[in-house]
Amino acid sequence: MHSNIKKLIQIYKLSQKDSHEDVDQKSIHWKKYYDKKDFESEANLVNFRNNQLLSRGLDDAANMQDELSLIEQLRYFDSEYLRRSLPTKNIGNSNFSTNILGYFFDYGIVHHLKWVEEILKIIPSKKIFCEIGAGFGSLSRIILNNHDAKYIIIDLPEANLQASFYLKEFFPNKKFYLYDNYLKDSTLKNLDNHDIFILPPWCKFEKSIKIDFFINTRSMMEMNKEIIKKYFNLIESHISVNGFFLNINRYEKSTVGEKILLHEYPYDNNWDVIISKPSYLQAGIHFLLTQRKFENLARNIGDELNKIKIIYMNFPKKKYLILMSLKSNIIKTIYKIIKIFLLFTLKKKKIKKIAKILNGMI
């Protein structure tokens, strides 16, 4: 195997050795996914997305395996944006990714493309990002493909191993700062000499480090309240003046031994709401972009959290959602039977639009 893989596994072992209950922050949700898998196998790392060998829980690719449905998603994006943003390599050997004109496309990346498209309208380039819970690095890669940015990732050692391997394959010329670098000083003091920083949750930042854009997507909902509060303390201590925080999480999730509610996240009052709306294609998840401000707030976060609480209170309950899911599956089965007919007879405009996008990507 490649020596780079051996080194990444050695770094993973170092972080595992330093990991313990007080600092690891691994909730019971993630123990279920991680504790019985072999993350020290080189073959497993090379194939970490194949049947979600190591990436289960981080990887939505398997949620839409119908290629026609995937291709339909292309019509929601500009061809130039797709060309910049889609991966040209199937790192991790996902068997759920579709090769379209040399670009790899799956259901998981649809959400990431939409989220980045939203924030590209708002922020300039040359920023310092910090993603808390980056998974294997799919969203990070898209942002880095569209931004000249420094990028910090904070996640559990198992996810960091996958993200390090994945991002190194796409950005071989960028300088990586990993846990072995951190151990030489045990405080992240400046960002000048590296481009991408991938660290476990117990690592410390020097007070002078300021982040322009914090991100958490669909992982605070899988942390207990104490850990969420620690991350909010980190965000509020290190966010730059007028910096942003993108929070995309469920209105409610209960996989950590307690109910985690989005409207109860511990925001202080110094946040201005920029975007607040249900997340694209995902019922029960909210897209909340806020900006750090101490005056002239247009939409205060406290008022917005009350609105989110109302959405949550009116959201269909679990039993109803199960029934709706069964109904949806029946409808999907029927739709698949007639889909070829629909696509090639009644949906000519849609096909033309997709064809135009594909042509623009060539």
Pairing of strands 260-261, 176-177: unpaired
H or E element, residue 286: strand 285-292
Q: How many CB atoms neighbour CB 193 within 10 A?
A: 8
DSSP label of 132:
E
User: How far apart, in whole angstroms, are the C-alpha atoms of residue 342 and residue 354?
Assistant: 15
Q: Are residues 308 and 270 in the same domain?
A: yes
Q: Tell me the pLDDT tens digit for each residue of 124-168.
A: 677 999 999 999 999 999 999 999 999 999 999 999 999 999 999
Q: Are residues 273 and 342 in the same domain?
A: no
Domain membership of residue 19 (yes or no) is yes
Q: Are residues 340 and 357 in the same domain?
A: yes
Q: Are residues 262 and 151 in the same domain?
A: yes
Domain membership of residue 300 (yes or no) is yes
Lowest mean pLDDT among 70-74, 166-170, 341-345: 341-345
Q: Total structural domains in the chain? A: 2
DSSP result, 321-340: HHHHHHHHHHHHHHHHHHHH
Q: Tell me the pLDDT tens digit for each residue of 220-247.
A: 999 999 999 999 999 999 999 999 999 9
The CATH code of the domain that includes 10 is 3.40.50.150
Reported pTM: 0.88
Q: Are residues 128 and 199 in the same domain?
A: yes
Q: Tell me the pLDDT tens digit for each residue of 186-198.
A: 899 999 999 999 9
Domain membership of residue 51 (yes or no) is no
Band of pLDDT at residue 37, cut at 50, 70 and 90: very high
Q: Are residues 121 and 253 in the same domain?
A: yes
Q: Are residues 185 and 198 in the same domain?
A: yes
Could you tell me the residue range of the domain that residue 343 belongs to? 318-361
